[in-house]
Amino acid sequence: MQIDTVPSVCPMCGRSGVLVFRVLHHLICAYVGPDYDFAPTLKGYACPKCRRDIVSDDRTCEVVGASARCSSCHKEMVIAPQAQGIGAGSS
């Protein structure tokens, strides 16, 4: 499900408690997923696919979007690029 705005309540169950997460792309192995998939390590984070360390400002990992998850019903939603400030004409 894609939503056009960052919700204050879940569009599925109507409860509050929607959490927003960054969607990351690890360029080395092409893994794309929410930031909670990347396990914390002593150096930063570990990619869930290739297990390599990702450190702060690592050029091998980029933020490609955002997703939201309801803390009550656990449904996940993709947040539209325009709601994230990413869209045609933006830089």
Query: For residue 12, what are the domain limits?
Result: 2-84
What φ, ψ does residue 47 adopt, rounded to 5°? -65, 135
Structural domain contains residue 89? no
End-to-end CA distance of the chain: 26
Q: In what order do the strands lie in the sheet with 2-3?
A: 2-3, 76-79, 61-70, 18-26, 31-34
pLDDT, tens digit, 9 for 90 and up, residues 34-76:
999 999 999 899 999 999 999 988 999 999 988 999 999 999 9
Domain-located, residue 90: no
User: Is 63 a domain residue?
Assistant: yes
Q: What is the pTM of this model?
A: 0.76
pLDDT band at 91, cuts 50/70/90? very low
Q: How sure is the predictor about 1, in pLDDT bands with cuts at 50, 70 and 90?
A: low
Please count the structural domains in the chain: 1
4-8, 14-18, 48-52 — which one is most confidently predicted on average? 48-52
Residue 70 belongs to a domain: yes
Residue 30 resides in a domain: yes
Give the pLDDT confidence score for residue 85 in this predicted structure: 54
